[in-house]
Structure 1
């Protein structure tokens, strides 16, 4: 399936293809013809070789819907074997015993266990979360139903939620509360560069979304955004210390004032209280 009129590699083909002409005439690529290999076989072999050579521990896959599902499973299987080989060959460089992982992007995917999870993906990007969070910038209690549902569903699988994206918009609502909205979410979360420093929207040119890819505002980190950065750091470090935030079951507390909940996972337990606006 072709994306935006870009060249299409026929990963669905079952016919052996030989090497691309470009690679046949460029020996420094070190690409070798392999008898019987299809285009998918070559791509999977090359990508998993990166894992075998460098110990890459996971892939974040863009526009996963443009490649058929069996191809993703083939990549996961071969990359997993390659990482195992790398760890055995490089014990002094190995950080953990975690298996190879894959996170995928398929436009519009939400908190649901789709076929992607049955074809090699460990998590999919959650496109619903940005607007759900936008509705709760005035009061974290407005996230309660969403968080309850996510915490319940994500006991069996995982998603990757975000606030800002180069495909949609920068999330600048709520000020510092954006940190709580993202970093207290169940599941995995992704900080888009500059969320923590209120990076401004940039010039667009012919692409109306180009401004989401503006230069990082490094000059603000120790200046006007210093307090915001410190707030994001504080909550992200708290999240890192407590796996229950992302993986735990949630129980909402009944409070006379404010909003609170408890999340529990194995022997980790946290209580979060939001007292409201000062």
Structure 2
């Protein structure tokens, strides 16, 4: 990347880094204990979130206009930073922001049958060493990360190692030593899922060979020389390979480039795209280098706001469901991605489980997370950028979506606009229907949107304050009305939640460990009540309560 060269000598200080001053890494006493299974992760498409600088907007060539919602629409890193500084994420109880990839993408367009499409989403890499100028560039990314950290918000960057961008008139194919262009994946077994291209025109990085060295693509070398940074990039590569002892394979070049996000900016985690399409051992190596870089960065930047969490790596193993335990089944083989660098996986089964009754739903996840996945993290979602069947596609269950997602055990992924009812059915083709611009105007112009956002904010802040919500032990206290408790032993945090309650006066049981006379606060109505005979009587105009000491 374009940054000041640093000797990789610091990599040799891993032992000292791992034994870093615990007091420097612990959060302030006013901060809640952090646990990734209680994290609220806000996932946004940078180009669709907020336009903070019109000066970097993409200028479309006449006759090359994108199909609806398939081109750049102006969102950038400056816009995300603005919303951080305004307190939007803090008010929502967000613990981490996950951005789509921010590396420089291809210049041209492709048409896969849904109209002209550009790389606004970030998954079509042209150069792993450059932050996409249309999203604001390197300085804007640095300010974004720093702004998030100043608010106690972690940054997760989406990373791609599986493929380059498509081939276009402006973007030639990478050398055959780097990529394959066939066969296309047919998903019959592990080989036909890994050693193949996802789609016809998406060159697949040759990740299977960990010994044959390759030279850099001539086009990339020429680009770096034209930009005046060839010597710097080569010096950094030489230092990286000298310190690691890795051969100069395509995989290892990209691992160096991806971990620069940690080395240079101090990002807290990676969301790994297309994880099941790459040999699992590759991810373990990426994790090892990212972890080293993260510990180095924290030692070198003691002023930055970090807690004691290790580097976070969550995988998109498409089709993985938490109900299946730790293993992913390719058909002819099973792979444990948790044993290969991932401390978390996206839970694709969650939206199906969310169709169960609240009681069955929560008891199922308590069983899952106290069983084979005990000590592991998952990330649940109800809608996403490439899942064409979201749980609430027509946005008719937006309040229930908040209740389910934010009160579930396991990490919660909010997809931008879940909290404001952003449309998932705009007039477009394919996954573009899921990628409309954030509906900021609705918040100020529609009372219904403002009320919905307030609902998400109340539950989100409650979750943020109480690790018991997502990472605690679940106990059903009453089936009708539905009341449960969660207990997080590490910080002695206890919450009691009631759903589907009567509006007005209501009586509900509390956890047996909460003594009579204890005053509990309902974080939804901001009222308090005292425990008497193991129960609490409270009068609020709402059908849910969020209780804690």
| TM-score for the superposition, normalised by structure 2 | 0.47
Q: Is the 8 A contact 1:262 1:272 kept in 2?
A: yes
| Aligned equivalent of 1:253, options 474, 477, 481 | 477
**1:67-96, Cα deviation, whole Å (9 max, x unpaired):** 111110111001111111111221112423
Q: CA deviation at 1:60?
A: 0.5
Q: CA deviation at 1:182?
A: 0.3
| Structure with more strand by fraction | 2
Q: CA deviation at 1:50?
A: 2.2
| Aligned equivalent of 2:364, options 136, 143, 146 | 146
Where structure 1 has 5 or more consecutive residues not aligned to the other structure, the ranges are none
Q: CA deviation at 1:56?
A: 1.3
Task: Determine helix, strand or coil for the equivalent of 2:403.
Answer: helix
| Aligned equivalent of 1:231, options 455, 475, 480 | 455
Counterpart Cα distance in 2 of 1:259 and 1:227:
24
Q: Is the 8 A contact 1:160 1:190 kept in 2?
A: yes
Match of 1:184 in 2: 407
**1:117-172, Cα deviation, whole Å (9 max, x unpaired):** 00100110011111221344xxx334243233234234321110011122233423
Task: Determine helix, strand or coil for the equivalent of 2:475.
Answer: strand
Counterpart Cα distance in 2 of 1:162 and 1:21:
41
**1:90-115, Cα deviation, whole Å (9 max, x unpaired):** 11124233221100111111112231
Task: Determine helix, strand or coil for the equivalent of 1:253.
Answer: strand
| Aligned equivalent of 1:58, options 269, 273, 284 | 269
| Aligned equivalent of 1:121, options 329, 342, 356 | 342
Change (3 A) 1:175 1:205: closer
| TM-score for the superposition, normalised by structure 1 | 0.91
Between 13-22 and 75-84, report the one with greater CA deviation.
13-22
Change (3 A) 1:94 1:274: closer
Q: Is the 8 A contact 1:124 1:160 kept in 2?
A: yes
Counterpart Cα distance in 2 of 1:50 and 1:201:
31
Between 5-14 and 171-180, report the one with greater CA deviation.
171-180
| Aligned equivalent of 2:389, options 163, 169, 193 | 169
Structure showing greater relative contact order (alpha-carbon pairs closer than 8 Å, 6 or more residues apart): 2
- Number of residues of Structure 1 aligned to a counterpart in Structure 2: 273
**Over aligned residues, Cα RMSD in angstroms?**
2.0
Match of 2:419 in 1: 196
Q: Is the 8 A contact 1:204 1:211 kept in 2?
A: yes
Counterpart Cα distance in 2 of 1:141 and 1:127:
20
Match of 1:270 in 2: 495
| Aligned equivalent of 1:210, options 432, 444, 449 | 432
**Does residue 241 in structure 1 map to residue 454 in structure 2?**
no
Q: Is the 8 A contact 1:196 1:232 kept in 2?
A: yes
Between 195-204 and 224-233, report the one with greater CA deviation.
195-204
Q: Who wins on radius of gyration, i.e. which is larger?
A: 2
Task: Determine helix, strand or coil for the equivalent of 1:227.
Answer: helix
